[in-house]
Amino acid sequence: MVDFVKNGVGGNFFKDIGLELPKGEYIEYVAWLPDRQIILYRDVEKWKKERLEKLGSTNKHKAFWNLMDKVTNVFWNASRNNLKLPIQSPRDLYTALKSIGIQNLYLIKYLNVTMLDVLKKFDLEHDKPLAGFISMLIEDTVHSTIDKAPFINAALGTTIRGAGLMRAEGGMKGFWTFVSSHYFEMGGTIKKGHKVLALKQEKENWLVETSKGNFKSKKIISSLPIDATDNIFPTSINTKIEKYRIKNEKDRGGAIVVFLGIPESEVSDQLYCHHQILKEYEKKLGNGNNMFISISAKDDIASAPIGFRSVMLSTHCELYEWQNVTEEEYQIKKKKIGDELIKIARRVYPKLGENAVVYEIGTPMTYKKFTNRNYGSVGGFKQTLENSNFNAIPQNIGIENFWLTGDTTWPGLGTVAGLISGRIASEYAER
């Protein structure tokens, strides 16, 4: 969870709902490149020193990082100050100018360039360690590539631990329990297992048809991914979002995860519980060439019993690689990639998985089953210049008493983006 600190996007959310921040650990982690290790410190000064020592300290490197620092400072603050894109009204324009600051407006030009463009500006595009390091951080956060990711989005994504990267006690399940319990106390209602079948306009109300009954509402905020709503939304809504569906069709992506429950002794020889690995500079990212290792904290008994730890290994993949395979082919393919991820992770933890009591593998087919996303896509769309920021899907699509939110809308993927889009949609509804 990103920016869950005092005065951060997450911190402001909890302040608004009258709830303390969840218990958890703020994460620093190690990036394992093919020829070096880099510690991604949360402390700004330590991180500045580390990146120059490990990734180059020439004037070009310093100029690149200075621009990164400037852009991230301005746009993290803008995100916390209610920036909204795309601009749809004079109110949006005023908010954007105020949140970015007149003195920083020159940075808007970087909305229309990629991270690769900026590396070329400093003649650093052939610096393998720097480009490889930035590339894997970009794929992990905005699910894109160095030549397609918008520079500002990529810069924000690569600096998340500086904004406060947290793993909640009990993982995301623990976070969900924490927040939903408070929601119940506030008088909220959550209907579990009510699959939405259709949404219809009925005079001044919306009628929500579900597998367990119908509900009426004056206003609707939908967090459903826009590419999974064809059979649910009425024509009036589908017509409005069809152009976004078509534009983003090619930008879906998938993921593979391995879940382990292991004896603590298998991971006790490292100071840090989170690691990111880039196996080869020249090889395409995904399918284990870059992967993230996340391990529950020693005292987090909501994630694993005493003496054990829960582990998640994750990597991205293309969805087409998992389409049109037989059940036998699927099982073989799934086992092969699971074993491969564990093998790669043993660079960090040599004994990992030797005595696993839990070993589960998730693929796009798993995501399809449990999340109903088309083809098992994960997160929102891969961020590119064509579908981000001024070209992103807005919360307001021009339907009365109906708004969109979630990771297929602006600003995109991740918990902080989800909070921002939710805030915008709720403010529309409140107004």
Neighbours of 182 (CB within 10 A): 15
- What Rg, from alpha-carbon coordinates, does the chain have? 22
Q: What is the pLDDT of residue 47?
A: 95
Q: Which residue positions in the chain have pLDDT lower than 50? A: none
CATH says 191-250+380-430 is which class? alpha beta
59-80 and 44-55 helices, crossing angle to 10°: 150
DSSP string of 295-338, one letter each residue: E--TT-TTTS-TTEEEEEEEEEE-GGGGSS--HHHHHHHHHHHH
Phi, psi of 382, rounded to the nearest 5 degrees: -60, 130
- Residue pLDDT, tens place only, 79-118: 999 999 999 999 999 999 999 999 999 999 999 999 999 9
CA distance 190 to 273: 34
Tokens 């391995």 — which residue? Answer: 258
Q: What is the pLDDT of residue 165?
A: 87
CA distance 387 to 381: 8
Q: What is the pLDDT of residue 372?
A: 86
Determine how β-strand 402-404 pairs with β-strand 308-317: unpaired
DSSP string of 377-416, one letter each residue: --SSPPP-TTTSGGGSPPS--S-TTEEE-STTSTT-SSHH
Q: What is the pLDDT of residue 160?
A: 81
- In the chain, what are the domain boundaries? 38-163, 191-250+380-430, 253-376
Question: Which letter, b or e, does each residue of 269-281 get, where b requires 16 or more Cβ atoms within 10 Å of its Cβ?
Answer: eeeebbbbbbbee
Q: Pick 253-376's CATH classification: 3.90.660, 1.10.357, 3.30.70, 2.30.29.
A: 3.90.660
8 Å CB contact between 395 and 376: no
